[in-house]
Structure 1
Amino acid sequence: MKYHYITIEGNIGAGKTTLAHLLAKHYNARIILEAFADNPFLEKFYADPEKFAFPLELFFMAERFKQLKNMLHTNDLFSSITISDYLFSKCLLFAKVNLPDEEFRLYQKLFDIMQQQIAFPDILIYLHAPVQKLQQNIKKRQRSYEQNIPDSYLFNLQETYTQYIKQHNIKTLFIDVSNADFLGNPMHLKVITDALERDYEAGQHFFSLP
């Protein structure tokens, strides 16, 4: 395995956490999962986005910073691989979508200070699914506060993610997960593990599932 720090990203409902668990089991890796349910502003945000977007994003950034800084700077004696189901830059991407310009500029100043202290992954796995598929997955996991997310919001996040990855020329395995069934189809997981056996130039490298 060439990669010691692997991050999985994607839109809401793309399957990040499921894949993180499977890869952590496969590689006997340490896993970092976002504790999104701990955010006291999450349900309030979906009910009233304009009022609660700023405290929502500040809370997420503080918690992600604390978690990643603690985990990534602590040596794990039993595992040389770490797998995370979020990228710290996710803070900035969601803030860009959710915050008005003035608040975003303030948020970005705080983000820039924190980001300097966080290690960047060796490789990013980006899970890309059409919005219809994302909505199916969101409905299936039955989190009450997510059930009325507009398609336009998911489209906006999708566009923000893909632009960020292109602009920063991040070493990325870009996986089309339109038909993904990582739990039920071992071949889908094998596409990912086989891909992780190879080295790549910076930029996007595209894969589809059988």
Structure 2
Amino acid sequence: MIYRFITIEGNIGAGKTTLAKMLGDRLKARLMLEQFADNPFLPKFYENPRQYAFPLELFFLAERYQQLKNMFAKPDLFAEVLVSDYLLMKSLLFARINLLDDEYHLFHRLFDIIHPQVPQPDLLIFLYAPVARLQQNIKKRNRSYEQHIPDEYLFKIQEMYVQFIRQQSLPTLMIDVSDADFEHEPEQFEQIVHALDYEYEPGVHYLSL
């Protein structure tokens, strides 16, 4: 395996955790999954975004940072690969969408202190799906507090991610999952696994399933 630290990113409902678990199992890798259910502000945020956005994003940033620090402080000698279903940078991207300007500037200062302290992935996998498909996936997984996420919010996240992907320098494999079902279509999952055999230059590379 060329890559030792693989991170999977994408919009809400893109299939990040599903793919991370499948790759973790196939590669016999350590798995680092976001503990979003531990964030007590998440259901409250969807009910009242303005009131709970700042504590929501602070909690996520602290939890993600602590999880990354703990993971790399105790390397598992029997598992050479680490697969994660989030990138720490997502904290800043979501903060830009959810916070007022003065809140965002403060959050950005905190992020700039934390971000250099955690390793960056060797490969970023970005799952792209249109908003209509994201909404289908969100409905299917049936988390109560997600059932009324407006399309507009998902579009904002999508735009923010696309802008970030174009500007960043990590080797990035963008996978179009608009019509994909890699969980139930083995050949699609094998395409993804096969794509990990290639060494990618910094920048964006594309894979359609």
Q: TM-score, normalised by structure 1?
A: 0.98
Which runs of 5 or more residues in structure 1 are unaligned?
none
1:149 match: 149
SS in 1 for 2:117: coil
Trace 1:120-139 onto structure 2 (pairs within 5 A): 120-139=120-139
* Amino acid of the structure 2 residue aligned with 1:128: Y
Using the TM superposition, give the Cα deviation of residue 48 of structure 1 relative to its aligned residue in structure 2, in angstroms: 0.3
* Amino acid of the structure 1 residue aligned with 2:176: D
Kindly, what percent of the aligned residue pairs are identical? 59
CA distance in structure 1 between the aligned counterparts of 2:116 and 2:5, rounded to whole angstroms: 17
8 Å CA contact 2:122–2:170 kept in 1: the answer is no
2:206 match: 206
CA distance in structure 1 between the aligned counterparts of 2:73 and 2:82, rounded to whole angstroms: 11
1:115 match: 115
1:190 match: 190
The size of the alignment, in residue pairs, is: 209
2:172 match: 172
CA distance in structure 2 between the aligned counterparts of 1:204 and 1:133, rounded to whole angstroms: 22
CA distance in structure 1 between the aligned counterparts of 2:147 and 2:96, rounded to whole angstroms: 22
8 Å CA contact 2:8–2:87 kept in 1: the answer is yes
8 Å CA contact 2:14–2:128 kept in 1: the answer is yes
Trace 1:1-210 onto structure 2 (pairs within 5 A): 1-209=1-209
Q: TM-score, normalised by structure 2?
A: 0.99
8 Å CA contact 2:43–2:145 kept in 1: the answer is yes
CA RMSD of aligned residues (A): 0.6
Which runs of 5 or more residues in structure 2 are unaligned?
none
* Amino acid of the structure 2 residue aligned with 1:113: I
CA distance in structure 2 between the aligned counterparts of 1:36 and 1:11, rounded to whole angstroms: 14
